C-alpha cells in the first residue's frame, strides 16, 4: 500500500495474555500506530478482541475490521503478529484469499509482509503453513506425554466414576486376601468396563480404586 493509504488495525489477546508486555493489547496497538506512521498511512481505527485465536468465530472486533476494509473505509488491515490474526492455516488461507480477491492490503508486521505485493502474499502463505505444522507437532507431543502418564496410572481430568457393584466386588475380594493382580484378572474375565476407558484392568488400577474409596 502506498503513502496516503487509509488503514485500520487489529489487536487480539487471550484473557491470560492481557498483562503480557509482548502480547497485550496496548503493545500491539503501539506497534500498529508506529507502522502506520512509518509508511505515511492514515490509521482510521484499531479494532480489538479478547478471545482465543483458534477460530474466527465470536470475534466481533475482527469482523468490524473486515467490514471497514470491505466497505471502503480502509484500504487495508494491519496486525502486529500473524498469530494475533489467526492460528489456523485454514482460517489464514481463507482471509488471504479474500483480501487478494478484492485487492485489499493485509500487513503482517512480524513477517515483514504486505500482501498487496506478490512476494508478500507468497511469503505469508509459506510462513502460515510452517506455523500450523509446528502447532501440530506440539499437540502430538502433548498427546504422547498424556498417554504415557495414563499408562503409569496417573489420573488426568475429571475423576472417573466406578460402579458401586464393581467397588463392592473389589473390596470383597481384597478382604478375603486376593491379590490386586487376581482381582484385576477376575474383572477382565467378567468384561467389566474399565475405569479409564482402557481395554484391561491392572493391579495399579485396582490399587487406585481402593485408595479413593477407603
Confidence band, pLDDT 50/70/90 cuts, at residue 43: very high
Query: Does 152 have pLDDT greater than 70?
Result: no
Q: Which domain holds residue 85?
A: 6-137
Asked whether residue 74 is domain-assigned, the answer is: yes
Distance between CA atoms of 47 and 105, rounded to whole angstroms?
Answer: 16
In a domain, 153, yes or no: no
Instruction: List all residues 6 or more positions away from 28 whose beta carbon is below 8 Å from its beta carbon.
Output: 9, 11, 12, 13, 79, 80, 81, 84
Domain count, the chain: 2
Residues in the chain: 214
Cα three-residue angle 210-214-182, rounded to 5 degrees: 25
Q: Using CA atoms, how far apart are residues 209 and 204, in angstroms rounded to an integer?
A: 9
Q: Report the pLDDT value the prediction gives residue 9, as an integer from 0 to 100.
A: 97
* Same domain, yes or no: 10 and 55: yes
Q: Are residues 28 and 95 in the same domain?
A: yes
183/82 same-domain check: no
DSSP letter, residue 72: T
Neighbouring-strand partners of residue 144 = none
Residue 62 in grid coordinates = 475482527
Q: Are 129 and 169 found together in one domain?
A: no
The answer as to whether 75 is a domain residue is yes
Q: What is the mean pLDDT of the chain?
A: 81
Contact 14, 49 (CB under 8 A): no
**Statement: residue 99 has pLDDT above 60:** yes
158 domain residue, yes or no: no
74 and 172 share one domain = no
In tens, the pLDDT along 128-147 reads 677 677 777 777 877 777 67
Residues 115, 19 share a domain: yes
Residue 151: is its pLDDT beyond 90? Answer: no
Q: Does residue 114 form part of some domain?
A: yes
Angle between helices 89-101 and 118-151 (to 10 degrees): 170
pLDDT at 72: 94
Strand partners, 105: 76
Residue 66 forms part of a structural domain: yes
Give the three-class secondary structure for 49. strand
DSSP 152: T
Query: Strand 6-13 vs strand 105-108: parallel, antiparallel, or unpaired?
Result: unpaired
Same domain, residue pair 204 and 132: no
Edge-to-edge strand ranges of the sheet holding 113-114: 42-50, 6-13, 76-79, 105-108, 113-114
* pLDDT band (50, 70, 90) for residue 18: low
Are residues 101 and 52 part of one domain? yes
The Cα 134–Cα 185 span in angstroms is 42
Taking the whole predicted model, whether its pTM rises above 0.85 is answered as no
105 and 206 co-located in one domain: no
Whether residue 91 is found in the same domain as residue 29: yes
Count how many Cα atoms sit within 13 Å of the Cα of residue 209 in the half-sphere of its side chain: 25
Residue 55 and residue 13 share a domain: yes
Is it the case that residue 197 has pLDDT exceeding 60?
A: no
Query: Is 159 inside a domain boundary?
Result: no
Residue after which a domain boundary falls, among 96, 119, 137 = 137
Position 157 in a domain: no
Quick one: 124 and 180 in the same domain?
no
Amino acid at each position: 500500500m502506498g503513502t496516503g493509504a487509509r488503514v485500520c488495525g487489529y489487536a487480539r489477546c487471550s484473557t491470560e495474555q492481557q498483562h503480557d508486555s509482548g502480547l497485550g493489547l496496548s503493545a500491539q496497538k503501539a506497534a500498529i500506530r508506529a507502522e502506520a506512521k512509518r509508511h505515511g498511512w492514515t490509521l482510521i481505527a484499531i479494532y480489538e478482541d479478547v478471545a482465543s485465536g483458534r477460530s474466527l468465530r465470536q470475534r466481533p472486533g475482527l469482523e468490524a475490521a473486515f467490514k471497514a476494509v470491505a466497505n471502503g473505509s480502509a484500504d487495508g488491515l494491519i496486525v502486529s503478529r500473524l498469530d494475533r490474526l489467526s492460528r489456523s492455516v485454514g482460517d489464514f488461507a481463507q482471509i488471504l484469499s479474500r483480501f487478494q480477491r478484492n485487492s485489499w492490503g493485509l500487513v503482517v508486521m512480524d513477517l515483514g509482509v504486505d500482501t498487496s505485493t506478490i512476494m508478500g502474499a507468497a511469503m505469508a502463505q509459506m510462513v502460515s503453513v510452517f506455523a500450523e505444522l509446528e502447532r501440530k507437532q506440539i499437540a502430538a507431543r502433548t498427546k504422547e506425554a498424556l498417554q504415557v502418564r495414563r499408562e503409569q496410572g496417573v489420573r488426568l481430568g475429571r475423576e472417573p466414576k466406578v460402579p458401586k457393584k464393581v467397588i463392592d466386588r473389589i473390596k470383597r475380594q481384597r478382604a478375603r486376601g486376593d491379590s490386586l493382580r487376581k482381582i484385576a484378572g477376575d474383572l477382565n474375565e467378567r468384561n467389566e468396563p474399565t475405569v479409564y476407558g482402557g481395554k484391561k484392568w491392572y493391579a495399579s488400577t485396582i490399587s487406585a480404586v481402593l485408595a479413593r474409596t477407603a
